[in-house]
Amino acid sequence: MSEIITSAVLIGILTSAIRLATPYLYAAIGEAISEISGVVNLGVDGIMLLSAYGAFFVALNTGNLWLGLLTGALVGVAMGLLMAFISVTLKAEQGISGIGLYMFGLGLSSLLFKTTIGTVKTVVGFQPVRIPLLSDLPSLGEVLFDQSLPVYAAFLLVPLAWFILEKTTWGLRLKAVGQTPAAADSLGVSVDRVRYIAVCVGSMLAGLAGASLSLALVNLFQENLTAGQGFIAVALVYFGGWRPLGILLGALLFSTVNAFQLWMQVLGVAIPSDVAVMLPYLLTIVVLAFTVSRVRGPAALNKPFERGEH
Amino acid sequence: MKIRMLVVLVMVLALLAACGGTATTTGGQSSAKPLRIAVVMPSATTDLAFSQSMWSALKAVQAELGGESALELQYSENMFKVPDAAAALRDYASKGFDIVIGHGSQYGSSIQEIAPDFPKTTFAWGTDVNTFGLPNVYAYTAAAQEGGYVNGVLAARLTKSKLIGVTGPVEVGDAKTYIDGFVQGVASVDPGMRVGKTWTGSFSDVALMTEAAKTHIAAGADALTGSSQSVVGSIGAAKEKGDVLWFGTQSDQASLAPNIVVASQVYDWSSILKQMIENRKNGKLGGDTFVLQLKNGGLKIAFNSTYPLPDDVKKAAEAAIEGIKNGSIVVEP
């Protein structure tokens, strides 16, 4: 084993892992924000798909990646508004409406792709940007500081989300609304308003997750491009215990094992491919089984808030 | 509260309805009754791979027979879930379509169950060889290893790094036989050359396929191939690198990356379709297994004219094609 895992392979695994983790980070941190306010959004994958399509379509036709990224974010916000309207205003069962949103995103992105683009095309996506000095650090510099901008942004999102959730009034309000909405309401916090914002911000991040796929990682759009990544992101929120750092660790663990198994296959290590492909999921389940029981989620999760009913 | 729930229910149903079936007709009305063919496919008609190969063949046959007035086509795509596909197959049969095709090896048990209920309808499915002993079922498959071998010969002759990467989906069906043939083709040029293989475990996970291709490239591979609709991710990764060559299969993949696609093995189902139509006119509804081969013209190697292929390499590939056709080269599936 030791002669196979050279430093070049190790760098390769970590570089892959950081790329693979990017969409999960955006989507899972977004989902965490939504869930902390008390709204489970199972439509993440559908939002990612529609945003990936929107971002790709705009980038393909304007040649402007930033405009594409912006479109991805805006499509995310629009989908968030839809989700918030159904689950907050109309107080629908969140799980069901999320699945509905997923299918809506899946269907609409496929339909639009077929009518407006037609066949698989590629764009030249966001290129790696070397950060001077830091990228010259031996071995790790190359891994951490020679990535594309959406990848950096995904990792910067972790401390940013932590700061907002832990150190700002808005973060406090978000938690209050997700834990004891009645108490927050009696203190003059508009539960619905906070939840609308949380769902929309969360969905915007899901939109960026989709756009990072179609404009920075895969650089093309195909029907069902995400292949269920949004659902893994939802699982990562539980895995990470609704904390940005936990989500980061979960996303990195999952992606590193995935990158590891790809490298082992490339290098011809004799493990059956089925086992290799299973590894990331298996390990995630094992870690989940041993850690998650200690963490408790937002108390009002999945519960619509009705004034005076509590 | 009740009204709210109702509104929600209606909205959710509307959403579901918007995304449910995606059946599309491309037929016309005319006085003479056209032949009607329906096909159910696991991915999109534009996937640059398996489903597209069948849809292109159907359109070609339609054009040849005289357009929509002679042959009416209908398809259901993205039928990845077998129960949905089974419902669509039964639906088409009960709507009176003459030939109903389940274009996916996962649809076998559905065809086996449905076909006896519609003895006047011709069913076809693939890729497989099993007609279940039913008189109205055809099975069809592709000897994908043949074109795989030719692509392998090309790749082994063109690689400079002497490292070739294969990005596979799941180790089954024509994905496996194609890749097995490819490895044999490489070995026929240089038995010592290393071919790294990855399987993503999914036919549709484009993101992981892209990363698999990037992993091969990072490990030093300069020639890649792979199978399934998710390989567009691999082609994208090779294209982005610029000097990594791609060898395609199922459909002609040159349009996606004209500068790096050397050749593609193209599945041409049209001869099989025409045979089914012909048989049907003569009262034969099924019972045969068709195999696409280089010899019978069902498989073709489409060289990408944009890629400057050296003459001696092209000659080697043509020799391999000829050898497979006349039986002097035997490629194990």
- My answer on whether B167 and B112 are in the same domain is no
pLDDT digits (tens, 9 = 90+) for A21-59: 999 999 999 999 999 999 999 999 999 999 999 999 999
* Domain ranges, residue B44: 33-143+269-292
The C-alpha atoms of residue B25 and residue B28 are separated, in whole angstroms, by: 9
- My answer on whether B188 and B109 are in the same domain is no
Q: A220 pairs with which residues across the strands?
A: A122
- My answer on whether B313 and B177 are in the same domain is yes
- My answer on whether B95 and B152 are in the same domain is no
DSSP code string of A266-289: HTT-S--HHHHHHHHHHHHHHHHH
- My answer on whether B224 and B151 are in the same domain is yes
pLDDT at site A44:
97
Nearest to A229 among B15, B165, B207 (CB): B207
SS3 B190: coil
CATH number of the domain that residue B231 is part of: 3.40.50.2300
Give the number of other Cβ atoms within 10 Å of residue A56's Cβ. 31
Name the more confident of B332 and B264.
B264
Kindly state the tokens that stand for B137.
């079922």
- My answer on whether B104 and B47 are in the same domain is yes
- My answer on whether B41 and B99 are in the same domain is yes
pLDDT digits (tens, 9 = 90+) for B98-154: 999 999 988 999 999 999 999 999 999 998 899 999 999 999 999 999 999 999 999
pLDDT digits (tens, 9 = 90+) for A73-107: 999 999 999 999 999 999 999 999 999 999 999 99
pLDDT at site B30:
45
Residue at token pair 């195999």: B291
Chain B CB contacts of A9 under 8 Å are: 219
Sort residue B242 into left (φ over 0), alpha (ψ -120 to 50) or beta. Answer: left
Sort residue B327 into left (φ over 0), alpha (ψ -120 to 50) or beta. Answer: left
ipTM: 0.89
The model's pTM = 0.86
Distance (Å) from the C-alpha of residue B205 to the closest C-alpha of chain A?
5
Residue A293: pLDDT over 70:
no
Q: Do B196 and A213 touch (CB under 8 A)?
A: no
- My answer on whether B174 and B310 are in the same domain is yes
Q: Is residue B26 part of a domain?
A: no
Q: How many CB pairs under 8 A join A and B?
A: 157
- My answer on whether B134 and B156 are in the same domain is no
Count of structural domains, chain B: 2
Which of A115, A127, A222 to substitute to test the interface with B, most B CBs within 10 Å?
A222
- My answer on whether B113 and B68 are in the same domain is yes
Q: Is residue B21 part of a domain?
A: no
Nearest to A217 among B5, B207, B219 (CB): B207
Residue spans of the domains in chain A: they are 23-227
- My answer on whether B167 and B184 are in the same domain is yes
Burial (CB count within 10 angstroms: exposed 0-12, middle 13-18, buried 19+), residue B179? buried
- My answer on whether B227 and B313 are in the same domain is yes
pLDDT at site A269:
87
